[in-house]
Amino acid sequence: MRRCSWLVGLAVTLLSAGAAFATTAYMQRLPTSSAFRCLNCHTVQDPGTANAGVNPFGQAFKNNGFQWNTTLASVSADGDNCTNGFELGDENGDGIADANVTRERFNPGQTDCTLQITPQAWSALKTLFR
């Protein structure tokens, strides 16, 4: 009986470690992930110890093959007024944070972006300062 419970404990530990590793590996594919960490994609901060549901950005990231690129950067997964690229600080989706960006501006998986301008208007404004 002891041996069985020991094996179950080992299995749970290994599965949790795998989930944590996957989350870390996926975070490294994003241009920034320091402020919100797991909450960029998940509904809980520590997906290895709770229900690891994904938020709208997490689902979009998964649907995009867990790849950060122009396609994912140019849309707003959470439906607020900001593109994923603006929220993660990499507007063109090249995987490199924009100048002077060291962390996310907003969470791409939550409707927390307060920017009240359309992506088209923002693009037009940016061209004025290049």
112/114 Cα distance (integer angstroms):
6
43 and 59 Cβ atoms separated by less than 8 Å = no
- Chain center to CA of 96: 14
pLDDT, tens digit, 9 for 90 and up, residues 21-75: 457 888 899 999 888 888 999 988 888 765 678 999 999 999 999 999 999 999 9
The answer to whether residue 14 scores a pLDDT higher than 50 is no
- List own/partner pairs for 73-81 with CB under 8 A and 24 or more apart: 74/119, 76/108, 76/119, 77/108, 77/109, 78/107, 78/108, 78/109, 78/110, 78/111, 78/113, 79/111, 80/106, 80/111, 80/112, 80/113, 81/113, 81/115, 81/116, 81/117, 81/118
Q: What's residue 50's pLDDT?
A: 59
Q: How confident is the model at residue 117 (pLDDT cuts 50, 70, 90)?
A: low
Q: How confident is the model at residue 15 (pLDDT cuts 50, 70, 90)?
A: very low
Of 3-7, 88-92, 123-127, give the lowest mean pLDDT range. Answer: 3-7
Q: Where is pLDDT greater, at 127 or 73?
A: 73
pLDDT, tens digit, 9 for 90 and up, residues 78-110: 998 899 999 999 999 999 999 999 999 999 999
Q: How confident is the model at residue 130 (pLDDT cuts 50, 70, 90)?
A: confident
Q: What's residue 125's pLDDT?
A: 84
